[in-house]
Every structure is written in structure tokens, then in C-alpha cells.
Amino acid sequence: MTSVVIHAHCYQPPREDPFTGLVPVERTAAPFHDWNARITDESYLPLATARDLSARARVNLFEWISFNVGPTLAIWLEREAPAVLDAMRAGDAKSVERLGEGNAIASAFNHVILPLASPHERQREIFWGLHDFRARFGRESRGFWCPETAIDDNTAQSLAEAGVQFAIVAPYQIRDGGHDGQPRRWKGAKGHSLWLAPYHGELSGSIGFGDLAQQGERLAHALASISADRGIASIATDGETFGHHKRHGEMALAAAIGILRRTQQATVTNFAAIINSRSDWADCQLVSPSSWSCAHGIERWRSNCGCGATHDTGRAQEWRGPLRDALRWLGDSLDGADGDDPELTPQRKARYGMFTSCGWFFDRFEGHETRLLLRMAAFALSGRKDADELEAGFVKRLIHANCNDRALGNGADLWYRDFHALIKPHT
């Protein structure tokens, strides 16, 4: 029997203002209050209650698709849309019954580029991600979603040491392989191992960037023919593809899954169940470091590599390096007095959250996502005796990050205009 896996990465950045715990109004998300609310309405809720027109029924797609829900989104869902989180849990439980393996997998607590994290940041992000998963789904996670599928040998080693058994990767992240869709075993220098499950690049591209997510029959046909050919057809894409980016995408997905089930052309399953199905998968090496959204490895989150949201080369991304350096310096300096206590306090949430990858993903330094990082930096500095000294060191480095709108000056100008006054003094 051939296999089909569809993975949805469900994630939103931590939009809460750390000072109030509330998500401020985001005008671009109108008529919704903010983007979390809008994407939940357009994608996550529809995925949980999708109409399958071919069967005239509603289906909870979380029962049928592999998925991860980023802890920063899960925290928001718990508060604002608990029924969606309940549907994810129910879908996961049903998949355990059906396949012996759950559809849900864990991810890093914050959406950080794990290969760019310091060793202790990486360990904590993995530890907190697994801890959050256990609390929400009541079981251990076998798999892990690395933000932006960014991975290197150190990250694979940290995952394996934490007990993770597999990670999802793009086909080109596996050296000399991956394009046949078959899982491979990575082996670390210390004897640990990690399964790497590659998705189908072209098929995932047609879902995310073409119109395949809007045509159920065509999608079913594409999945069936690839799995007939190679044994496995798998897709990885953002959860918001279905509904938000591709209108009615959840209906097409429900129709495709319904067709595959009724015609028995392929088993709709998950990566853990596929890995279990054989014991002789081949070994491999990683392309280290690499990711699914930067052709240059992981440069998108630290240099002017040209990867961005627009393809307007006039918008230089030279600020990416200085921003990374400034936050690296601040994070390391904050850790000096932090000790080894792994408790996730609000202060620490901000300190680790200021490396959220979205801050580098887009083109403009003064953009919304980068400003979220600066707001978290202000919160992490608040209430500290050494805040003035740390702020001075941080700002000295931000000077080298220029706003894309030259009228706004550099990072230090932006900081003093919008963030400096947020810092609460030590009492």
C-alpha cells in the first residue's frame, strides 16, 4: 500500500505586547482585531470543520493531516479559540487510534532558527517545545518541526539527545538523496541518530504557490500518482495556505483526502507511521546548515542574501546582520545573571522570543515583525538594575542597522523614538 502525508505548519508569532499580555489592534488584519484572529477564522477553524462536498459531510482535518501548532499560537488559541485547540487534540487522538502514531508533532517554543541559536538557547527551545506539547497533547512527541525547517548537525544532535526521533525537511536538505521521498537516518558523531522525513518539493510548491490547493480532484490525482510511483507522496506547507492564502483550500484538501480514502489509492498517514513501516531506511548526511525558505542555507536570518517577501532588489536587507549581532550581544549579556533555571518566566519568554525568525524574514527593518523583537528586547531589559548599561551596549550595535526608509534613520534612532520609553525602571 502506498502512503500520503500532508503536513500543516500552524504558527503565528507572539503578537502579545509583553507589557500588557494583550495583542494590540493590527489594522492590516481588518475587519479582524489582529492576524491571529483572522488566520484562525480563515484557516485553523476551517481545517477543523472542513466541508467535504464530495461526501456532503464535515471533517476535522486534524484527524487526517500531520501538523504542528507552535506554542506561541497554541497559547493564544487556548485563550481566544479553545474549540480549535480541542479539535487539534481530538484529531490527534483519533490518529493515534487509527495509525498507532499521532498526527501532532512538537516544535521549538519560539520560532527561532535553531542553527543560529547558542547551544543553551537551542536546548531550552527544544525542551520547552517538547514540554508544551506534552502538556497539550498528553503524550510524548516523536517528531519535531524545526522553524523554517532550519537544521544543521548541531541541531540534529540536540534533537536526538532530547529524545526526538524525526524531523521534517525539504528534499534538498538531505545530501545525495531526499528526492525519492523516503525517510533517511542521520547519525551523529556521538552515536545518536535522527530520522529525516523529506517532503515532495514540487508538490508542496504547487500547493503553496500554485492552484493545487483549490482543486480537490486534481490534488487527489497528484498525490495518488506520486505515491503509486514512489511509495510515498508527502507535502509540507503552512497551515494558513488552506483558507487564508488559498480560498476554500480546506475544502479541496477534505475532498482530496475523501477521494483517496474511498478509492483506496493510498493510505492517508503520518511520518511516524511511515518510519515504523520499515527497518531498512538508508543513512544520510545533512546539508548543514539549510532551511526550506532560503536558497543560501540560513543567510536569510543574518545577512543581505536577497531572499525576502518581495523580489524588489531595491530594498536592501543589510540590516539583518547588525540586528542579529545586536540581539546576540543582548541575549548573551542578559544570560550573564540568568543562571541555569529553566522556568519560563515572562521576562525569559521575551529574552528568548526576541530571536523569533519572522523579525528577519521580511524586507524592512522597520516592519511590523522586526518591531515585535525590539518590543521584546525592551521588556527583557525592564526592571533590571543593569538596564542602562545593557541598553547602551545594545543601541551601540543597532546603529549599524539602517531603516529601509532612510527618513527613519538607523536602528538607534528607531529605538529611541519607539522603544526606549517602554523600559520600566528598576524599583
**Alpha-carbon distance 106 to 126, whole Å?**
9
Rounded least distance, CB 308 to Zn ion, Å: 8
Q: Tell me how far, at minimum, the Cβ of 357 lies from Zn ion, in Å.
A: 13
Do you find a cis peptide bond into 31, omega within 30 degrees of 0? yes
CB 194 within 8 A of CB 160: yes
Cell 546548515, residue located: 289
Instruction: Report the nearest approach of Zn ion to the CB of residue 361 (Å).
Output: 11
Q: Which of 106, 102, 118 is nearest to 163 (CA)?
A: 106
Name the residues that contact Zn ion, by CB under 5 A: 294, 296, 299-300, 305, 307
- Give the number of other Cβ atoms within 10 Å of residue 329's Cβ: 15
Nearer to Zn ion, 352 or 360 (CB): 360
Shortest distance (Å) from residue 296 CB to Zn ion? 4
What is the CA angle 273-123-199, rounded to 5? 35
In terms of CB distance, is 42 or 148 closer to Zn ion? Answer: 148
Nearest distance, CB of residue 320 and Zn ion, angstroms: 10
- On the CB side of 225, how many CA atoms lie within 13 Å of its CA? 6
User: 355, 372 in Cβ contact below 8 A?
Assistant: no
- Give the cell for residue 160: 536526538
Give, in order, the Cα–Cα distances in Å from 49 to each of 234, 248, 250, 417. Answer: 22, 12, 9, 45
Rounded to whole angstroms, the Cα distance separating 55 from 287 reads 43
Instruction: Please say which residue, 244 or 300, places its beta carbon nearer to Zn ion.
Output: 300
Which CB sits closer to Zn ion, 96 or 305?
A: 305
Give the residue with the Cβ less far from Zn ion, 109 or 360.
360
Nearer to Zn ion, 257 or 307 (CB): 307
Residue 303 Cβ vs Zn ion, minimum distance, rounded to whole Å: 8
- Report the nearest approach of Zn ion to the CB of residue 304 (Å): 9
In angstroms, what is the minimal distance from the CB of 297 to Zn ion?
7
Residue in the block written with cell 484557516: 43
Max Cα-Cα span within the chain: 68
> Quick check: 258 and 28 in contact, CB under 8 A?
no
49 vs 303 by CB, closer to Zn ion? 303
Query: Which C-beta is closer to Zn ion: that of 27 or that of 311?
Result: 311
Which of 305, 422 has the CB closer to Zn ion? 305
Cβ proximity to Zn ion: between 277 and 303 the closer is: 303
* Nearest CA among 84, 87, 82, 88 for reference residue 105: 88
CB of 294 to Zn ion, least distance (A): 4
User: Which CB, 209 or 211, lies closer to Zn ion?
Assistant: 209
CB of 295 to Zn ion, least distance (A): 5
Nearest approach, Cβ of residue 284 and Zn ion (Å): 23
